[in-house]
Amino acid sequence: MGLFGRIIVGLMPLTPKFVINRVARRYVAGSDLESAIALMQKMEGEGACFTIDVLGEEIQNIGEARYFVDEYSRLIDEITISNLDANISLKPTAFGLLIDEDIALVNIEEIVEKAAINNIFVRLDMENHRVTQPTIDIVFKMQSRGYNNIGTVLQSRLFRTTDDINNIVKQLGGLADLRICKGIYLESAEIAETGYREIVDATNSCIELMLELGVYTAIASHDLPIINHTLESLKNNGFELGKPDPRPNASESKEGKGEGYEFQFLLGVRGDVRRKLSAQGHRTRVYIPYGTRWYEYSNRRLRENPDVAWHIAKALLLPWTNRR
């Protein structure tokens, strides 16, 4: 952790809530579903599609999961009514994964089933290493029950990730659909890369492997070395803008998806890069979080990865450098 990050984390308990709110407004759509819908309707003109996340994770008792089941159900209804080009992202621990896996599975299936009826894709967000395998297992179980509208996220910094990619493709074949990211959770050096260059290299290697294996590849990164490497890898795999996925082993096409890949960005981060990629013809997706737990979300993300303190300071002091 850098000195600046340590200082920011140390000051967090003393930071007025309105200051955190000022920062959060750039990265969170709002406290309610209506705010998220309004923002997406406003951003549709930028050529972006969306994935929507209801803020909250790691509930304390299984009864809390009902809120997320009900809210995601409302969200699916609103996406359908508003005719938005959007899918949903959810965190398995918000549905009870760390309390009762069986109940969590029932809760998640309720949402996956409703999403399938409405032709909406469901992405299981990946949390820290404690739930890596259980999250992947949920995808396998849902797919085995006939729900093909589900995929997950893998974190490239983990040493296990290349094996996970291979195992998922072996299990799901053309139904493999993965988002790859560096991973925000600061994992131990015993199980993960910890240096920036090593993490970037690991991410690039994962992207190459996913493209090689025919996986639908969602690249979730704001790092130019990763984006530029991906563009080169796409060329090397025969991709051409405006043309079908050229890979003979390509994943099955899904409604609301690109031709084998897409770029994904967090709301409020690298909007200029996203708009440039979109203008070039690449499918770009914006991660839209909303909910009443924006304060906990903001604090937790900073505690987990204090290096983002620089980005927060930049957003406060130089807001014009980081448009949505």
Q: What is the predicted pLDDT for the residue at 313?
A: 55
Q: What is the predicted pLDDT for the residue at 321?
A: 52
| Structural domain boundaries enclosing 107 | 29-290
Kindly give, in sequence order, each residue whose CB lies less than 8 Å from that of residue 205, ignoring residues fewer than 6 positions away.
Answer: 156, 162
CATH assignment at residue 58: 3.20.20.220
Q: What is the predicted pLDDT for the residue at 1?
A: 47
Domain membership flag for residue 310: no
Q: What is the predicted pLDDT for the residue at 282?
A: 96
pLDDT in tens, 5-63: 555 555 555 555 555 555 556 788 888 999 999 999 999 988 899 999 999 888 999 99
Q: What is the predicted pLDDT for the residue at 211?
A: 97
Band (pLDDT 50/70/90 cuts) for residue 143 is very high
Domain membership flag for residue 61: yes
pLDDT in tens, 202-235: 999 999 999 999 999 999 999 999 999 999 999 9
Domain membership flag for residue 22: no
Higher pLDDT, 21 or 165: 165
b/e string for 53-64 if b means 16 or more Cβ within 10 A? bbbbbbbeeeee
Kindly give, in sequence order, each residue whose CB lies less than 8 Å from that of residue 109, ignoring residues fewer than 6 positions away.
Answer: 142, 145, 147
Domain membership flag for residue 49: yes
> Residue 21 burial (CB < 10 Å; 0-12/13-18/19+)?
middle
DSSP string of 77-129, one letter each residue:
HHHHHHT-SEEEEE-GGGGTTTT-HHHHHHHHHHHHHHHHHTT--EEE---SG
Domain membership flag for residue 7: no
Higher pLDDT, 26 or 65: 65
Q: What is the DSSP letter of 158?
A: B
Distance of alpha carbon 31 from alpha carbon 301, whole angstroms: 17
Q: What is the predicted pLDDT for the residue at 256?
A: 83
Q: Which long-range contacts (CB under 8 A, 24 or more apart) does 173-176 make?
A: 174/214, 174/249, 174/250, 174/251, 174/252, 175/143, 175/148, 175/251, 175/252, 176/151, 176/213, 176/214, 176/215, 176/216, 176/251
Domain membership flag for residue 138: yes
